Amino acid sequence: MARAIRNRPGFGRKSELEVNRPISKGARTFLRAAICAPAALLQERRGPRTLLWLCGASAIFLLIGCEKSSPDSQNQLKPDSASEVKSSALIEVKTKSGIEMVSIPGGEFVMGSDRGNPDEAPPHKVRISAFLIDKFEVTHDLFTKAQLPNPSHWQDGPKKPVERVRWRDAKQYCNERSLLEGLKPCYNEKTMDWDCDYSANGYRLPTEAEWEYACRAGSDQPYDFGSADKLRQYGWCGENADQRTHPAGQKKANAFGIYDLYGNVSEWCEDVYSPTYYRESPPVDPTGPSNPGKDVKRVIRGGSWKSSAAQCRATVRQGERTGDADACFSTDYCGFRCVRRPAAGELQQMLETRSHDSGPQSSSSAPR
């Protein structure tokens, strides 16, 4: 089942943007001058030639002022930008195994920040291809449905996000879920690193760039919802989590309709972690640096139940050892969610084959 969860009527119509473009501050100043100055001078001189000259000059200044773009119009992003995706139609789908995902159209955004930690710099433009992402973090019941042992520290609720998950265990879940739905697995389990086939249509961990693109949801701020004092409404972190995880979907979703990107559990990404990678990252669908072969760390994102507000920012990067060779992997703040790139036309087929008895429904705020 699929349904449109966001759609702004008339979005992107050039004529509306041009006709309704706000007048800049400079234009307003010119407008006031154009109205007030002739009246004042007319009282003093009362000359028709003076009046004609002032009206003509005022009209010229007004046109120039209106043509100058305001700060808002200067920041208008070109088509396919992340901000434009935020206002366009996002599609929520339910997979064959009943898991809710959000379809994110491709676009361009500025990844990283020059106002955070050194490994977040430099900010750089990245173009991302369209993909599907889990609406919620993978929960206990979903993990065990794939017939995998639940490694979590807190096992007091099936809708809590699974944690204490090794990087390879997360990849195994992705493969099992792919097989359950008749998709081609992305990971080659015969290779040491379980190499990823990005052309496969099965599930995998998100790249670091995909994760940040989904988290930012068109915003260029540390949090897509605004200031840090609102974080308690959107995620479980050190200030409100009471030192534990919580069931997925209890807080507000971000602007793309995705839950728990801030806090609860940190989320594994596919990429090898390198603090200097942004200096050499390719501009289209980056997948991280090559594996150095020893002491490898993988990227985790989003902060967790134990993190400060600053650690939950959309651009914060952290390298974590995978735990694949650790018999006592005890990071009870590490979880994950899945992504996949549907084959050409597949999303359209999902829309066309939606259940004939499905009517308008509100978007759910808890995993089913």
Is 122 in contact with 109 (CB distance < 8 Å)? no
Enter the tokens of residue 276. 């200097």
Residue 174 within any structural domain of the chain: yes
Provide DSSP, 201-223: SS-BPPPHHHHHHHHHTT--SSS
Q: CA gyration radius for the chain? A: 25
Residue 80 pLDDT:
55
Kindly state whether residues 227 and 292 are assigned to the same domain. Answer: yes
Residue 74 pLDDT:
32
Kindly state whether residues 57 and 183 are assigned to the same domain. Answer: no
29: helix, strand or coil: helix
Q: What share of the chain is helix, strand, coil (3-state, %, to 5)?
A: 30, 15, 55
| Per-residue model confidence as pLDDT tens digits over 180-215 | 999 999 999 999 889 999 999 999 999 999 999 999
Residue 88 within any structural domain of the chain: no
Residue 190 within any structural domain of the chain: yes
Is 314 in contact with 212 (CB distance < 8 Å)? yes
Kindly state whether residues 159 and 62 are assigned to the same domain. Answer: no
How far is Cα 253 from Cα 110, in angstroms, rounded to an integer? 22
Nearest to 66 by CA among 18, 108, 112, 111: 18
How far is Cα 325 from Cα 261, in angstroms, rounded to an integer? 28
Question: Could you report how far apart the first and last alpha carbons of the chain are, in Å?
Answer: 14
Residue 366 within any structural domain of the chain: no
Residue 84 within any structural domain of the chain: no
Kindly state whether residues 120 and 60 are assigned to the same domain. Answer: no
Kindly state whether residues 269 and 328 are assigned to the same domain. Answer: yes
Enter the tokens of residue 199. 């052309």
Which residues of the chain fall short of a pLDDT of 70? 1-89, 326-328, 351, 353-364, 368
Kindly state whether residues 61 and 179 are assigned to the same domain. Answer: no
| Per-residue model confidence as pLDDT tens digits over 28-51 | 443 344 334 334 433 434 444 443
Domain with 49, as residue range(s), is 23-69
Kindly state whether residues 49 and 184 are assigned to the same domain. Answer: no
Provide DSSP, 63-122: HHHHHSPPHHHHTPPPTTBHHHHHHS-EEEEE-TTS-EEEEE--EEEEES-SSS-GGG-S
- Torsion sign (Cα): 188, 181, 172, 290: positive
Kindly state whether residues 58 and 205 are assigned to the same domain. Answer: no
How many domains are there within the chain? 2
Residue 114 within any structural domain of the chain: yes
Is 160 in contact with 248 (CB distance < 8 Å)? yes
Kindly state whether residues 247 and 104 are assigned to the same domain. Answer: yes
Residue 78 within any structural domain of the chain: no
Residue 292 pLDDT:
86
Q: Residue 256 sits in a domain of what CATH number?
A: 3.90.1580.10
How far is Cα 160 from Cα 140, in angstroms, rounded to an integer? 6
Kindly state whether residues 109 and 35 are assigned to the same domain. Answer: no
The count of residues in the chain is 368
Type of residue numbered 98: G
Kindly state whether residues 45 and 98 are assigned to the same domain. Answer: no
How far is Cα 254 from Cα 115, in angstroms, rounded to an integer? 22
Enter the tokens of residue 355. 């259940």
Kindly state whether residues 230 and 315 are assigned to the same domain. Answer: yes
